[in-house]
Amino acid sequence: MKENYCLQAALVCLGMLCHSQAFAPERRGHLRPSFHGHHEKGKEGQVLQRSKRGWVWNQFFVIEEYTGPDPVLVGRLHSDIDSGDGNIKYILSGEGAGTIFVIDDKSGNIHATKTLDREERAQYTLMAQAVDRDTNRPLEPPSEFIVKVQDINDNPPEFLHETYHANVPERSNVGTSVIQVTASDADDPTYGNSAKLVYSILEGQPYFSVEAQTGIIRTALPNMDREAKEEYHVVIQAKDMGGHMGGLSGTTKVTITLTDVNDNPPKFPQSVYQMSVSEAAVPGEEVGRVKAKDPDIGENGLVTYSIVDGDGMELFEITTDYETQEGVIKLKKPVDFETKRAYSLKVEAANVHIDPKFISNGPFKDTVTVKIAVEDADEPPMFLAPSYIHEVQENAAAGTVVGRVHAKDPDAANSPVRYSIDRHTDLDRFFTINPEDGFIKTTKPLDREETAWLNITVFAAEIHNRHQEAKVPVAIRILDVNDNAPKFAAPYEGFICESDQTKPLSNQPIVTISADDKDDTANGPRFIFSLPPEIIHNPNFTVRDNRDNTAGVYARRGGFSRQKQDLYLLPIVISDGGIPPMSSTNTLTIKVCGCDVNGALLSCNAEAYILNAGLSTGALIAILACIVILLVIVVLFVTLRRQKKEPLIVFEEEDVRENIITYDDEGGGEEDTEAFDIATLQNPDGINGFIPRKDIKPEYQYMPRPGLRPAPNSVDVDDFINTRIQEADNDPTAPPYDSIQIYGYEGRGSVAGSLSSLESATTDSDLDYDYLQNWGPRFKKLADLYGSKDTFDDDS
């Protein structure tokens, strides 16, 4: 180092000595190196002259990191032909010549002008030559030589990493390899001990050690426990010079972590756990949690729980919560405070993964006692049975007891219970229940044939807490009573062939009948078939009971004829097997029909038989032809009649019901020749005779009757209107409506005057309207409005 000047001076001297020993004499050369002090004096003061000799040389040495005040003398070049008169000039060329290395051209001394670092460059190649100073003529061929930088211990060891991290399992044996650290030294490993490293541990004892030559760190203590201390910090030193005094050193930090092994069993922190659960809790509900502590981590610390003993093993279960490593105790079945108030469980916690190397540390499990107390809860009433089935006979009177349901409060208070029927299950309100004792009764007679079973729901609730309610299904069976008489199973109808009396009777039944009964089978079959007592000796037919709920109807005689009687009604009595038996009389229809020789039916119609006896086929065809001709004639007549009665009114665009003529302009009285001719009103038929209607097209010319025509100059409006009405009523060509013409105002000077009352109603008129009373009942309304004015005035 720069501060160690004494050491550097010694090294320089040592280097110079090495230089002198590096040259071996072989033969004379042209250039040779030389050093200061090559002329020595004898003991008596005389100068001793060495004999000339040649040197083979090719390298110089220079100490690195020299920091003295003067340049370092590397060596001296001298030619054999140099006589010392200064005519020879030494030239230096090559790597670093002129910058790092300079030469005295007269004496040939070579100096290093800069501090050299072997780690940057270990050697330099130079070229030396002696030339004539005046002419620069080479006196000798150039010679190449090497200047090597001599190493000193100026670089401390360096580790590849500033810090290291390593893991080793806990409880490892002594000498277990942890990690190897490596350092390097930039100094020359071939020269001295500058690069010879030795490792040692500065921190981390007595737990770890390091091998001096390799840098391998090993455990130094047995049974190191991760749970006691998990992480260690170790400092390792690397020192050069073989670890001797004066060597340089470097350090690194190593963090060593103990990894976990399963060397600890789980342990409960307490010996007894106290828990409670309500009797109202449902299965699956959590009761409580237990936890065994295991200082190990990861899979080595996994714990599973189980119930190994106790009186509550059937009622409780335990599962493992792997996130929290807890044992969760849950309710498996409902508990009852009134039955048992406390339970005890023995819970075991065990490791999932066990390391065989540490099995001697076992057992790797632990047990604990869990005591569970059952808490009382306000429970709803409980029925003594999960369901009820009752029976009642049909047609039983209202108020008949069907059965009873019973519930009680399971709590210690034993509160009274009240009963009710869910009316959603008894919409017809067939039943009622006593709210105190639970007796169910009917409210009306029941019919089994309508409904054989009725299902209702009964509620039971505590008096003091209506929310505590229970329900139970009640099925009520309607028992059958023989209240339905048997009837024919189908509308039977029998047929018998007409025959003469000499023909033998057939043994085949005319018809086989059966019965149907709405009652249950106990009150139905067996059915008994018979004839009524009053016709038990019926001469025509008889009934034979087949004793299998069927019967056959047989003929007692032959010779049935459709001409005499084609239909027989046979009453049959059917009785059931109920107690008491029910019976009904059913009527069987038997028709007499015509049959062929094989007994197959041909016709059962008596009229057809008569027609066939009196008329031939040709006669029947003739009668049918006449009927068809008559029908055709009637249709033609009706068609012509309808065409003849079609209305002859010609409508251009639409069916006009009213023909209204409005005069918006004011006429000029008698002088206005374009105005309406009042003579038309006075003489509707015109001067030249009868004027036909203009709103219809007459079917034929209708001549008015002379006796109904008024006088030409008549102004009797009543007669005029009556005449018009009578003509319209008697005119067969007139439509069923009238043609109305409205004359709002005829103008001044009109002989007829104004028919409007609009103007006269607003003026003080002295007109006398009493004559309206003589116009008949049609003008009675006008007479009442205008004719009674004076009367009103007099009254006022």
Strands (E), 601-735: 601-603
* Cα gap 17→63, rounded to integer Å: 12
User: Residue 10 pLDDT more than 70?
Assistant: no
- pLDDT-based confidence at 725, cuts 50/70/90? confident
Instruction: Give the pLDDT of residue 15.
Output: 40
pLDDT in tens, 530-541: 999 888 888 889
Q: Is the pLDDT of residue 55 over 50?
A: no
Q: Which of 99-108, 591-600, 701-710 is predicted with the least confidence, judged by mean pLDDT?
A: 701-710
What's the rounded Cα separation, in Å, for the pair 421 and 423? 6
Q: Which two tokens stand for residue 341?
A: 């108030």
Mean pLDDT of 484-490: 90
- Integer Cα distance of 531 and 541 in angstroms: 9
Within 13 Å, how many C-alpha atoms sit on residue 4's CB side? 11
pLDDT band at 233 (very low <50, low <70, confident <90, very high): very high
Mean pLDDT in the chain?
78
- Quickly state the pLDDT bin for 720 (edges 50, 70, 90): confident
Position 206 pLDDT exceeds 60: yes
- Per-residue confidence at 753, pLDDT binned at 50, 70, 90? low
Structural element, H or E, at residue 717 = helix 717-730
Confidence of residue 504 (pLDDT cuts 50, 70, 90): low
Distance CA 761, CA 767 (A): 11
pLDDT higher than 90, residue 318: yes
pLDDT score for 9:
35
Rounded mean pLDDT, 231-254: 90
Using one digit for the tens of pLDDT, what is the confidence trace for 152-197? Answer: 777 889 999 999 999 999 989 999 999 999 998 887 777 777 788 9
Alpha carbon of 70 to those of 8, 38, 115, 283, 483: distances in Å? 14, 22, 11, 101, 150
For the chain, the residue count is 796
Residues 6+ apart with CB under 8 A from 78: 31, 32, 33, 34, 108
pLDDT at 192: 73
- Report the distance separating Cα 340 and Cα 571, nearest Å: 76
Strand 541-545 and strand 550-555: the pairing is antiparallel
What residue type is 542 in one-letter code?
A: T
Q: What's the pLDDT at 139?
A: 84
Predicted local distance difference test score (pLDDT) of residue 616: 64
pLDDT at res. 792: 43
Mean pLDDT of 291-317: 93
pLDDT score for 328: 96
* Contacts of residue 641, Cβ cutoff 8 Å, sequence gap at least 6: none
Could you give the C-alpha distances from 776 to 329, 416, 714, 771, in angstroms and in order? Answer: 114, 94, 17, 10
Lowest mean pLDDT among 80-89, 129-138, 546-555: 80-89
